[in-house]
Each structure stands twice: as C-alpha cells, then as structure tokens.
Structure 1
C-alpha cells in the first residue's frame, strides 16, 4: 500500500551530479577569491555531521524554528486550509511532521509533495510519510530549485488546492540577493491566489551568537566544513589534505551574513586529476564554503513584496532569533 501511494518523478539527467560538481569546482576554485558551493558539504558524512551540529547548545536555528512551529502549526493549518503540502528539501524531519500533524488534524491535507536533488532522500522520506500518514498520497520530485519548482508545485486537477509551500531552515539565506529575487518571482508566478509560502528566515543578531553557532568548541563545525575536501578527494581524485586547513567562521557586517571558509595553514599545491587542474594555495589563503544571509523584518517583507509575495503573518521564537513568515502572491 505504501508504494501505491508514493510516486517519484526524477527530472535530473543521469550525469547531473558529475557535470555540476565538475563545473562548480572548476569555476569556484579558479575564481578570486576561491569558493565552493555549500551543497557539496552534504554527502552522507556531511549530513550526519550537520545533524550533530543541530543538537549543539550554541546552534539555535533548528530549535528556534521548531519552537515556532510547535506553537503555530495549528494556526498555520487553519489559515491555509492546505490540501497539498509542498516542501523544498527532504521531509523526514520533526519540523515537517509538526506541519503534517496540524494539517491532517484539520482534515484538509490529501497530498505531500517534497522536492529534493537527492532521489534517495525523497524516496526515503516519502516511504516514511506514507507509512506514518496512511491518508496521504506522496508525489515526490527529484530536481533542483531552478528547474523543479513548476513540476513540484503543479496543481493536481483532482485536488486543486489550496497549497502550502514550505521552505524551512533559513535555506533562503544561502541565496544571494539576485538569486532570491528570481526565486520569489518564480514562486509568485507558480502559486495561485489561494496558496501560501511558509518561509523560515534567520534574523540579524549579536555577531557573537552567530559566530558561536557556526564555530563550536567541540570541533564538529570544523569537521563539517572540511568534509567538502573529502568529497573532492573521493569524487575527483584530488589530493587535498583536510588537516592542512583551518575552519573559519566570520560575520560580514555590510551584507549581514555569516561565512564559513577554509584557510590554508601552509603554502601548498593541490592537484585535481578529474579536472586536469593544479592549484597553488598561499599560506593563509581562504576558500569560501558557505554563506548565510541574516534578515531584518522590514527589509525581507519589502523584498518579497517587490517580487510578487505579500507577507501576512510573521512569527518569531521568544528570543527573537528566528522567524517564520506566511506569504501569498500579491493581489
């Protein structure tokens, strides 16, 4: 019965990961300054390390967002009356289940539609949801956000809506301003007048609190950051020595964002055979591996409004560290 209620639409070409990794690494590591996209931190080992990070005392975003959902999920369900929950990212987390519980308790939810670039992640999540929520159909899409949104948000003629699209975890902070504007416009053009966006956003706060969240004293964040070098060694035959790099977490005040970087401890030459590439790194040279923009209420609501989405509700945790906002296409 579980399999009969689960469909997986894989829209990625067979060579997607290889081609994208090659392009990202060649472009990023030959740029000035050098960069690597954060998505390559998250292989199985990296995902396990990040899960450890979310349980550390100083890493507040996961707990803060969950606090808000615990308090507001029933209200979100009552406002949206969603028959379909669309989720960007895999949906096996406790936060997703808080939404599913509230939406199914209201009697409206019929379909759960996760989108993720990992086929195994969406299939595993879909099977778990089918097992634990026997009244739901799961229609999963394997795609990236750029190409997969129209498919994932497509209305089912038998269940026309309303739909709730959730984008949690402040993943929006990984987008630069131009990427955010394009993303909002795509959403505004895809969602109907009765649909809603539920967006998680990490807020600007004390730099000390932010740096501690990204640079714990136990060293898990450092292991997580250096994991991208293990990925390049395994997938591209590179000869990075991860232990020759320091983990750096910096608050950049002008763009109001956190950055994670890897800093070479010594001068070194690294070869990447799969790309026929050799890199000469100076002592102290940085490779940026993650950026996480933080937000202010007025600026974020104005940005959304300007690109097709009106914020109707804004909730924070008691310490005002994190926000969940509910938006709908401009009328």
Structure 2
C-alpha cells in the first residue's frame, strides 16, 4: 500500500462480523475502491500504521454494528477516528453506520454515531440492498472536491489513469484513440472525473467545444479509460495541455513535424526537463499561429484544429480548464497523449449515454 492510495470506502468491523464485511466488500468492489484489511493489506504492511492511513485516505467509513461491536477493541479505535475525521472543518469524510441485526439499535450505537443516519440491514432487505443504496445515494459524494483538483494541478500530481470521451457513433475499436488525422489527442485525469456525470465531465473538460468538437454535444458518448502513470507515460508521451507543449509537439520532427522552430524558439524551449507550464503561454500561442503557420495549404488553423484537435478560441493553454473562458465546470487538468492505435492500449470502455441520462463515470 502506498501513501498515494485513495479509497472510496473503509470498512470498520468486529472480527465476529468478518463474513458480512467481506460480502459487502465484494458487493461494492468494483466499481468502488474499498479498503478491507483482510483484502487490501499487502504482505509486510504494518497494521498499526496502515489501517489509520487507509482510513484517513477514504471518503467514507462504513461501520458494521452488531452485538459484538462493544467488545471489538480495534473497531472502536476505527470508530473514534471516523468520528474525528467527520468533525473536521472540511467536512469531506463521511460515516455511515450499518446495523447488521436487531440487537444493534440506535440506542446501542457507539458514542459519536447516534446522530448519524444508519442503514438497518434487516429492514432494507439484506446487504445487497445496502450496497445498492450506498451506490445510489453516496456516489456523488465520492468525487474529488474542487479544492483537491486545484491542489493536484498546483502540485503536478502524477496522472495514474487517463479518461477520454469520444462520440459513440464515431468509435472504432479497430482504429485509434482519435481521428486518423490527429497526431495527439486530449485526455483528462480519470481520478478527477470519476464519480461525475457525463454532463459534468463534458463541462469540466470542455469536450464537444474546445476539444473533440461536435455539432451537438447532447448525443451519446463513450468513456475510454487507460493506465498512464510511469508505465505508459513515455510510450504515450504525456504532456500538459499548454501552448508551449503544443508548440513542442507541432515543431518536433519526432512528433508532429508540422513546421520548423526557429533558433530563437529552440533556445526559449530550453533543454529537458522543460517547464511546459511556464508563464509565457501567450508567446507560445503566437509562435504556433504566426501567419505562415496559421494559414496552411490544408486550411486555416489546420495544425491546431486537426493535428491536435483543439479550438484556439476556447483553449487557454494553462493546463487546467479555468481562466479567460470562464467554464461553468470545475477546474480540471488536461493533457495531450499520442494518438495510438487502440490495439496497443489496454483500455476499458463505459457507455455514458447522453447527458440527460445522468450516467456516472465508474
């Protein structure tokens, strides 16, 4: 287990209730990331540090309550930490008591849980129904809050998994990530868009407008998700969606090779590792759109519009979707990756339907 692990649910239970805890784990995982000590700890992990760390990294603690809870020393510690986490000013951690039997009434709840809305297993019809209720009512609370998205941008957090939305009608599993004419395509950070609806993701990532422009965004969309991290970062040539990175892609003879950089531009690019988030993005936009580069034989803005698939009217080039355009969505990180054949990528597809369907990205 690493310090970067983030869990949707942490299950706190008494040893006598292990079977119920494992059943609930299986019902929720996947699509949720659920921490259960017997399933989630790795060989050699230290219990006394790994469990509190995992609980602090979880969005919700599920507390299984039964007649054995009063005698469960370690579970009582986890309940105390859950209550403490839920009382913090940010209010990001949530606690849900789950009453396993009739002996676990509200009056018998441990201190700190009596004001929490509990789910009685026998009343709702079993753990399957508990899991369904958790999925339906808490999913939206599992999405990363806006402040966390901004923090990830400021700290340049590694993109472990990418998400790309494509119109369902244009998807070809034997083709590429994007149109054949594109050398690079646009992706977002899956972790930042997970648990959000299609409409939210379209707004957050400017898809259908600034990226993957379509006549009508209200059509059906698919979400393609795939691993990046350190494993595929070099293979996919992950770069932030900034104008400096766009210039690098368009001018590099090993990348898109659309035009040749001047000696002055090469000097300004600097040597690796280059800071693609530099403050001179407007200058790099100007370098991408000098007259001879903008008015090409293949059409105006061909390099930007067709090779990269972005709209210069909407794309700010900061690497995050906020700023002059004043998007109605949440500020979200955006990136370029190579437009690779789909057969060379280990990806998953989720049908998100149309925006009015309110389908959530798992």
Give TM-score scaled by structure 1 length: 0.24
Higher helix share: 1
| Structure exhibiting the larger radius of gyration computed from Cα positions | 2
Give TM-score scaled by structure 2 length: 0.23
Higher strand share: 1
